[in-house]
């Protein structure tokens, strides 16, 4: 397992084992994570502790964690180059989260947009973890002295809170935490719902035809794209009021590398039926090797266990440096 190099900046990324990783997750984030390994010291995690703010079926939850880990490797994360660990295997996360809770204001947490959204969605289970999980996310980031964290628009507020907490702690105890910066990629595709193309593609959408899972079977992918919402113009081009086609062109461009103009020219005079089929076929081919590798990894639990144990060992060693420093500054007695 590699030691982080001072010459390269550290990037931390984590994904929840929610059961389904979508095409939007892959094109918008995971594919970029693979590329980041060449230029940065990357640390990746399956954020299973974050997932239990919502009730989980134990058997399915355990499988989802395995699936998420295997899928990270299948997408191209190299555990020999970039440590990949399971969050709950590294006790420093919960320990620092409690400390950070004591340096986070109630008002700050109550203003978190995702807390408001999830409280409405899960109104029968508005638990304390749902309220305080931004401090666990802050601990995830600050433990590894991450220079940057890849974030989407929905996570930017949480990164800002992590910086605020770190600044507050540092102002009291000195330079303990590094202030992380957001990493905004210029090449991540923003993939929208196939049924409501003004909304971001999301696995939480009740309409299963609105999103593509990375592990969807080819026939399922084809069926979902054929049902994608378009418009009445029947011309394949980028345009105002053509949200459905704009989205499909964006997906086609992301998986083939073709420009919007290339795609428009290729499908000039052709109908939406032909275009939807072509987009589906391109996505199927993009995901095929990932699905093949995933099936190989998930069938080899011994290998997965070897890698996540190595990842946890690395993560614990690195994160203990930060936790011990923070606890010492506060005044705790060393073990």
Residue ranges and CATH numbers for the domains of the chain are: 10-188+301-330 (3.40.50.620), 208-294 (1.10.240.10)
Task: Establish whether 203 is a catalytic residue.
Answer: yes
What band does 256 get if pLDDT is binned at 50, 70 and 90?
Answer: very high
Q: Is the pLDDT of residue 265 over 50?
A: yes
pLDDT in tens, 5-18: 457 899 999 999 98
Task: Establish whether 242 is a catalytic residue.
Answer: no
Can you tell me which residue has the tokens 């020219």? 265
Average pLDDT, the chain: 92
Out of 9, 203, 226, 258, the active site residue is 203
CB atoms within 10 A of CB 213: 19
Task: Establish whether 118 is a catalytic residue.
Answer: yes
> What residues does 11 pair with on adjacent strands?
42, 148
pLDDT for position 295? 97
Counting residues of the chain whose pLDDT is more than 90, the rounded percentage is 76
Q: With contact defined as beta carbons under 8 Å apart, do 42 and 148 qualify? A: no
What band does 112 get if pLDDT is binned at 50, 70 and 90?
Answer: confident
pLDDT for position 1? 46
Counting residues of the chain whose pLDDT is more than 70, the rounded percentage is 96
Long-range contacts of the stretch 161-165 (C-beta < 8 A, 24+): 161/104, 161/108, 161/112, 161/134, 162/134, 162/137, 162/138, 164/108, 165/100, 165/103, 165/104, 165/135, 165/138
pLDDT for position 238? 93
What band does 188 get if pLDDT is binned at 50, 70 and 90?
Answer: low
Q: Give the residue-averaged pLDDT of 191-205.
A: 90
List the structure tokens of 66: 């395995």
Query: pTM score, two decimals?
Result: 0.90
Tell me the three-class secondary structure of 94-109, residue by residue.
Answer: HHHHHHHHCCCCHHHH
Q: Give the residue-averaged pLDDT of 287-302.
A: 97
| Distance from C-alpha of 283 to C-alpha of 201, rounded to nearest angstrom | 15
Sheet of 84-86, strands arranged across: 84-86, 41-46, 10-15, 148-150, 181-183
Sign of CA dihedral 68, 291, 184, 7: positive
């Amino acid at each position: 397992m590699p030691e982080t190099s001072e010459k390269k900046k550290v990037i931390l990324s984590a994904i929840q084992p929610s059961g389904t990783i979508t095409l939007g997750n892959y094109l918008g984030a995971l594919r970029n994570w693979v590329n980041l390994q060449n230029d940065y010291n990357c640390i990746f995690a399956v954020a299973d502790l974050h997932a239990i703010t919502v009730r989980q079926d134990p058997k399915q939850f355990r499988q989802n964690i395995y699936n998420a880990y295997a899928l990270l490797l299948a997408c191209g994360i190299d555990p020999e180059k970039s440590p990949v660990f399971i969050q709950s295997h590294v006790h420093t996360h919960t320990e620092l989260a409690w400390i950070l809770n004591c340096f986070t204001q109630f008002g700050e947490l109550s203003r978190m947009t995702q807390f408001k959204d999830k409280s409405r969605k899960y109104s029968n289970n508005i638990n304390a973890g749902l309220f305080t999980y931004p401090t666990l996310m802050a601990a995830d980031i600050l433990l590894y002295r991450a220079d940057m964290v890849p974030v989407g628009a929905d996570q930017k507020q949480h990164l800002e809170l992590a910086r605020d907490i770190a600044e507050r702690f540092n102002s009291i105890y000195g330079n303990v935490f590094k202030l992380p910066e957001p990493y905004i990629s210029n090449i991540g595709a923003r993939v929208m719902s196939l049924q409501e193309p003004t909304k971001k593609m999301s696995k939480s959408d009740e309409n299963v035809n609105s999103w593509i899972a990375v592990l969807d079977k080819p026939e399922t992918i084809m069926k979902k794209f054929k049902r994608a919402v378009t418009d009445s113009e029947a011309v394949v081009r980028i345009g105002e009021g053509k949200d459905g086609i704009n989205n499909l062109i964006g997906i086609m461009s992301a998986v083939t590398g073709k420009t919007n103009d290339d795609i428009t020219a290729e499908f000039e005079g052709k109908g939406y039926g032909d275009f939807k089929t072509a987009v589906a076929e391109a996505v199927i081919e993009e995901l095929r090797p990932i699905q093949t590798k995933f099936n190989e990894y998930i069938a080899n639990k011994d290998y997965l266990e070897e890698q996540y144990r190595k990842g946890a060992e690395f993560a614990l060693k690195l994160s203990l440096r930060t936790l011990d420093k923070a606890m010492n500054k506060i005044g705790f007695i060393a073990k």
